[in-house]
Amino acid sequence: MNKRTYEEINEKIRTGEVVVVSAEEIVDLVKEKGLDEVFEEVDVVTTATFGPMCSSGAFLNFGHSDPQIRMEKITINNVPANGGLAAVDTFVGATEESITEGYEYGGAHVIYDLVRGKEVELHATGKGTDCYPNKEIRQKVRLEDLNEAYLYNPRNCYQNYNAAINTSAEHKYTYMGMLKKNRGNINYSTTGTLSPLLNDPYYRTIGMGTRIWFAGAVGYVAWEGTQFNSATDRDENGIPLGGGATLALVGDLKQMDPAYIRPAVFEGYGTSFSVGVGIPIPVLDKALLKQLAISNDDLYQNVVDYSIPRRSKPVLKRVSYSELRSGSVDIDGKQVKTAPLSSLKKAREIANKLKVAIETGEFLLQEPIKLFSTENKTKGMRD
């Protein structure tokens, strides 16, 4: 057997014969047994990530009040939400900050509070029209009260994003956390060999319609994520040398587990949002298995100087994920401490939960209905 199909794998899931391992486990299996034997044995590899991603939010529908209102100015727990949709629809962005509390409480906290069953306060006003005469409502709501609630990430699962360092004489406060002055630390946000798009670097199985594990619910890849940079330079293993592709993800907020959704507050920067994502990769052929078997020793990332206030920032060094995870990296003779913003512990939990769901027949694979381009180049604003 040189190839297998989605339907063949799904049939094995239905009959309970499927063999599933995580992306960490596949590395050791291939080292021990070789590509040929492992290909005959393993059908699916699970990948996962859990880290902050500012490009997140939720679409909510509250249902109509009596009399009806067209909500134009909206806050939820004093966090502004978008009123530029239909009468009682809104989008709350994860990084939106509270009017009263600033970035200590933001859109990410609103979404988290809803998922864990807490009441939030909706306040909305409108100018009043013949069909929507009401001009103001103030109402306590829970997630169960809403008609629909969709978590939507315009950008997630960044493929090989930068590690961050600061060479200046002052601390820098960024979306990569606090970067200490004079190369005091390196922060990175990846799960390395578990990271979805590092396991399928050419997007052969991850595309529009791919079924995913999304914070405990079934979700889907909706489209290319924003800043989808697939035409980037790559190394000999096909891994982008810098930030590559991203994914737009959607799922039912009502089915999600609050253990895999977390608001994050970055001092001096603002609010962000972590959500757990697990993506199964079918082992379709040996070429794909070879990609899946790449270890942290052979996955490299750029250490970028975030003290430079320009779109293009200098790369100080390329380091492996194994080096990053070791706790320190040598930068010009100085041992610089490293720390992850993503949670490897949570990612391992997610990869295992997805593995169990597939093994027990609860989760079938979905072949993408549209594959993504490998020739897309990200543009910056015109100067």
Span 175-204, average pLDDT: 97
Query: Where are the domains positioned within the chain?
Result: 6-54+152-359, 63-146
Give the residue-averaged pLDDT of 298-316.
96
As a whole number of angstroms, the distance between CA 226 and CA 233 comes to: 18
Largest pairwise CA distance in the chain: 73
Closest CA to 49 of 175, 151, 157, 206: 157
- Identity (one letter) of the amino acid at 232? T
Q: Which tokens hold the place of 219? A: 């979700």
Q: What SS3 state is found at 356?
A: helix
Strand partners, 280: 46
Residue 210 has pLDDT above 80, yes or no: yes
Q: Annotated active-site positions, please?
A: 131
Query: What's the pTM?
Result: 0.97
pLDDT tens digits for 228-280? 999 999 999 999 999 999 999 999 999 999 999 999 999 999 999 999 999 99
CA–CA dist 336, 16 (Å, integer): 48
Mean pLDDT value of segment 303-331: 96
**Average pLDDT estimate for 87-104:** 98
- pLDDT of residue 205 exceeding 80, the answer is yes
Q: What is the pLDDT of residue 383?
A: 80
Place of tokens 């670097």: 201
pLDDT classification of 1: cutoffs 50, 70, 90? confident
- At 22-79, the pLDDT tens digits run 999 999 999 999 999 999 999 999 999 999 999 999 999 999 999 999 999 999 999 9
Rounded CA-CA distance 45/283 in Å is 7
